[in-house]
Amino acid sequence: MMIPPGRYPVPERGLDFDLPDGLAVSRDPVCYLVSGDNGFGKTTFLEKVVIAALQKEGLPFLYLGQDIRTQLYTLRALLSVRGAAVSGVDDERLVEMWIARSGPAADVFLLDEYDKYLPDFGTLFRRCDAFIRTYFIVSHLDPAHIRPDPERFRHRRLHFELAGRDGAVKHIRIRQEEPWPR
Amino acid sequence: MAVSDIKTLLNAYDGQYLILDYNHLFVSGSLREEVWLLRRADEPALVSEILEAARTFGIQEASAEKGFDTYSGGQQAILGCLLVMALIRAGGVRGIKLLLSNVMDSISGENRRRLRVLFTEMAASHGLRFFTPREGGLRELELP
């Protein structure tokens, strides 16, 4: 699947995205590290553009959002009604159980600032090694410690920058670049 | 570090620290309502002070009535910090220990630097101290 280059307006959030380079999804293994200032629409882009495209194509995905507490309550309830023993299980283990049960059908994993809750992604990447081919990882911290296997995954940084304002609308350019010097 | 659970934080630190948790930043829907509830009065001057500070963080769209759920996650974290500092100033309270849970890592590097400058000013003027949860306890923020 390809999210083609172009303009992606989200007027209800006052954002207008300019994506000069398309995004390959669920092809060769790739990890997109998403960065940019607060209020530049990183989460909105994931939810309104990337997830919308995945749903349109029928591509299964996993998503851990910024507001993790609400999601954890939901995961606990979901796993419980599916018969999993979740009583007394800590949050980290709960996420692992969810991945083990729901993950293998998924190609894409979106993690929005998950590193502020669990900085060590090593276990999570290992659990997903057999099935995830595309990661979108939003982080304000040093991304070097949250990359999946660099031998297998190509890494690209998606940097959100303000290109201008038009009244209440922010024009955001999404620059694609190498995350680390070669 | 495991996901910070507000109940765990409250059990361990309530009464000693003022806790600002990313997943529970506000009790109402907008800045005007929040100030009204926490100050028990409509205080437009205090709200204006917070809004002015918010604009220095690039939150041009901030307003007294704008719903908190229409700001980005990082913008909410910044507004939470600005709000609590404004309330401490307005109340003339000194010596508060503020525990920031998953707040600073929701904020971009540039805005973190701006916030640290304000924290330093508050430390000097009101004896405010800042802490974050770390494995096995808390760590005090080092300020410039």
- Residue A63's domain comprises 2-67+107-177
Please report whether residue A90 resides in a domain. Answer: no
For residue A132, tell me if it sits in a domain. yes
| Cα separation, A41 vs A48, whole angstroms | 10
A32 falls within a domain: yes
Query: What order of strands is seen across the sheet that includes strand A30-36?
Result: A6-10, A15-19, A169-177, A154-166, A30-36, A134-138, A108-112, A61-64
Would you state the pLDDT for residue B3? 54
CATH number at residue A32: 3.40.50
Write out chain B's pLDDT in tens, 144 residues. Answer: 455 678 888 999 988 999 999 989 999 999 999 999 999 999 999 999 999 999 999 999 999 999 999 999 999 999 999 999 999 999 999 999 999 999 998 999 999 999 999 999 999 999 999 999 887 789 999 887
Residue B2 C-alpha, separation from nearest chain A C-alpha, in angstroms: 6
Contact B74 A119 (CB under 8 A): no
- Measured CA distances, B80 to A23, A131, B8 (Å): 34, 39, 21
In a domain, A153, yes or no: yes
The structural domain count of chain A equals 1
Contact B69, B31 (CB under 8 A): no
pLDDT along chain A (182 residues), means of 10: 96 96 91 95 97 95 88 92 90 89 89 83 87 94 80 93 95 91 56
Q: Which residues contact A168 (CB under 8 A, 6 or more apart)?
A: A14, B61
Q: Is B15 exposed, middle or buried (0-12, 13-18, 19+ CB in 10 A)?
A: exposed
Domains of chain B, earliest start first: 6-140 (3.40.50.300)
Nearest to B102 among A13, A91, A116 (CB): A116
Domain-embedded: residue A97: no
Q: Do A39 and B23 touch (CB under 8 A)?
A: no
What is the chain A residue with the closest CA to B23? A67
